Structure 1
Amino acid sequence: MNEKLYEATPLTQGDFTTGIEGPACDREGNIYCVSFRDKRGIARVTPDGKAELFLTLPEKSAGNGIRFNKVGEMFIADYTDHNILRVDMTTCAISVFAHNDTMNQPNDIAITANSVLYASDPHWGNSTGQLWRITKEGKTILEASAMGTTNGIEVSPDGKTLYVNESVQRTIWAFEIAADGALKNKRLFKKFDDYGFDGMRCDIDGNLYATRHGKGTVVKLSPRAEVLQEINVLGEHPTNICFGGKDGRTAYVTEAKAMRLVQFRVERAGLEWKRWRR
């Protein structure tokens, strides 16, 4: 029997706030999201939708984007305390991996195959933003400052391109990633005339899935910026997306209007799911 693709269904009900974000999957298929019960709570959600409190962030912290590296450590963008936090998944110990007071509010994070991080850093009040590189040692390097409201961020499968969108300006930019991780040769990848953007993720073919905040959809773009699909996610405010499931072909979307996770099946596995299984 052929399965239905690109048809969203609810995964969770209750317990999250309108700040629900993240999400990211571990190797066992659990999904982790922020704002579980309050802004400091990180949830672990099983593939069948059972959510529980996994850990609570420090008092001044609040989580946003989540990523895992190849050894299974979790990284969380802490937007209120200007940090990238690192979590030991065995002990649940939380440490500050990177901190910079000149960050506006680190929002979403991308990760390369060799665990270099990039963080979007919007200033919502001014409709501006920055873009940071965080080395494997936790050093913060400002890669771009004169941008719009930087938000969703992702690295291409070949590791040569960094995509970052600007929510208010409705644009997606592509940067070339140099051998040392520095960014250069910024170019316009895609611009839309309406609604906003939030989180983004790639599949293994380099197709880019971007959440359309305000429209209630996820748009699937080819590496040539062609619109391939647009998926209704059952709520107006999708905030981010990740891939998981037994084959990496289940997309999980955090949706802030209904304060829940939704899921839909896709044709090809997510990049991050595949990368950490090589």
Structure 2
Amino acid sequence: MRLKLIGWLSAGLFCLAPALAEELFVATPLTAANSFTAGIEGPAVDAAGNVYAANFGRQQVVGVVSPQGEARAFLALPGASVPNGLRFGRDGALYMADYVGHNIFRVAPGTATPRLYAHEAAMTQPNDLAISADGVLYASDPDWAHETGRVWRIALDGNVTLAADGMGTANGIDISPDGRTLYVNESVQRAIWAFTIGADGALTDKRLLRRFDDFGLDGMRVDVDGNLYVTRFGKGSVVKLAPDGALLREIQLPGAKPSNICFGGPDGRTAYVTEVERQQLVQFRIDRPGLEWQRLRDHP
């Protein structure tokens, strides 16, 4: 009888195991459809797990969404400024690219007031942001009309310098965990490039990481292992790439136009994606934490 009982218990545990296993890489909506405009972008997650995304309800407004999907307006940019890429620094400050006014705004921790951090009239439209461990920003700057682009470096004092020129439509951008490589993708050319970041912040040794045959590229973020998650605008998916550019996985989304991605959740393993077709945030669980989440958690 004892042997039979052990057998039944073992069988029961094996039956329960699949049900208890977490479902990874399956996307579901986080917010209601049409809660954002077609300019939905960003996104970024604060240390408390809230998701910030651009153009909530109307253009110019940054919304904040709880991990449960409860959304509200957080702030509005002044004048004609419109937010696009968002990033949190390790000090908890929120940085926002304003593609209309050629500005970078900063929101200090515990406030909801955007302050001008950097301005460069020579920019076409600062689009997305990457942030280094020490707080230096890099901004992609596409010129859609001419299918060209650049990358700008924004120092800790807000000083702006041109870091890379002669690119295609520079869009998604991020930095490797060791801080030595900057990744930039080109939407129209469907290419991802890697640059070496020098001790002085200069970009050198431009090299092709991967090229795609179809559909556009948009936002891009790295996990703690240096894997890249890239949104495929028009294809309705996110691809996970190894640091050498090898394709590891493709995640299908509800909606064909994902514009950007970030990581959060209680363990950094929830991906949040801004999706233009349905104008909403979607989410899916991943296997390893995002780098930006890890840095926010580890900041003293």
Q: TM-score, normalised by structure 1?
A: 0.99
1:51 pairs, out of 71, 93, 98, with 71
Number of the residue aligned with 1:8:
27
Bigger Cα Rg: 2
Distance 1:184 1:173 in 2: 11
Number of the residue aligned with 1:31:
51
2:40 pairs, out of 13, 17, 20, with 20
Number of the residue aligned with 2:83:
63
Give 1:59 deviation, angstroms.
1.8
> Which secondary structure does the structure 1 equivalent of 2:91 belong to?
coil
Give 1:91 deviation, angstroms.
2.5
Residue 266 of structure 2 corresponds to residue 246 of structure 1: yes
Number of the residue aligned with 2:295:
275
Alpha-carbon displacement from aligned partner over 1:181-237 (angstroms, at most 9, x marks no partner): 111110001000100000000000000000000100000000111101100111110
Alpha-carbon displacement from aligned partner over 1:39-94 (angstroms, at most 9, x marks no partner): 11100000000100001110210000000101100000000000011112323121
Distance 2:23 2:228 in 1: 20
- 8 Å CA contact retained: 2:147, 2:168: yes
Alpha-carbon displacement from aligned partner over 1:150-174 (angstroms, at most 9, x marks no partner): 0000000010000000000000000
- 8 Å CA contact retained: 2:91, 2:109: no
Residue 165 of structure 2 corresponds to residue 179 of structure 1: no
> Which secondary structure does the structure 2 equivalent of 1:276 belong to?
helix
- 8 Å CA contact retained: 2:75, 2:113: no
Alpha-carbon displacement from aligned partner over 1:246-277 (angstroms, at most 9, x marks no partner): 00000000000000000000000000000122
- The structure carrying a bigger helix percent of its residues is 2
Distance 1:75 1:69 in 2: 8
- 8 Å CA contact retained: 2:172, 2:217: yes
Give 1:121 deviation, angstroms.
0.2
Which one-letter code corresponds to 1:246 in the other structure?
P
> Which secondary structure does the structure 2 equivalent of 1:277 belong to?
helix
Number of the residue aligned with 1:136:
156
Residue 216 of structure 2 corresponds to residue 220 of structure 1: no
Number of the residue aligned with 1:84:
104
Give 1:15 deviation, angstroms.
2.2
Number of the residue aligned with 1:229:
249
- 8 Å CA contact retained: 1:198, 1:238: yes
- 8 Å CA contact retained: 1:233, 1:253: no
> Which secondary structure does the structure 1 equivalent of 2:294 belong to?
helix
> Unpaired segments of 5 or more residues in structure 2?
1-19
Runs of 4+ displaced beyond 2 Å? none
> Which secondary structure does the structure 1 equivalent of 2:162 belong to?
strand
Number of the residue aligned with 1:95:
115
Percent of aligned pairs sharing the same letter: 57
Distance 2:246 2:210 in 1: 9
Number of the residue aligned with 1:110:
130
- 8 Å CA contact retained: 1:175, 1:186: yes
1:208 pairs, out of 228, 246, 250, with 228
Number of the residue aligned with 2:7:
none
Which one-letter code corresponds to 1:61 in the other structure?
S
Alpha-carbon displacement from aligned partner over 1:15-34 (angstroms, at most 9, x marks no partner): 21010000000000000000
Which one-letter code corresponds to 2:76 in the other structure?
T
2:173 pairs, out of 133, 145, 153, with 153
> Unpaired segments of 5 or more residues in structure 1?
none
Alpha-carbon displacement from aligned partner over 1:113-158 (angstroms, at most 9, x marks no partner): 0000000000111111011010011010101121100000000001
1:162 pairs, out of 182, 194, 198, with 182
Q: TM-score, normalised by structure 2?
A: 0.92
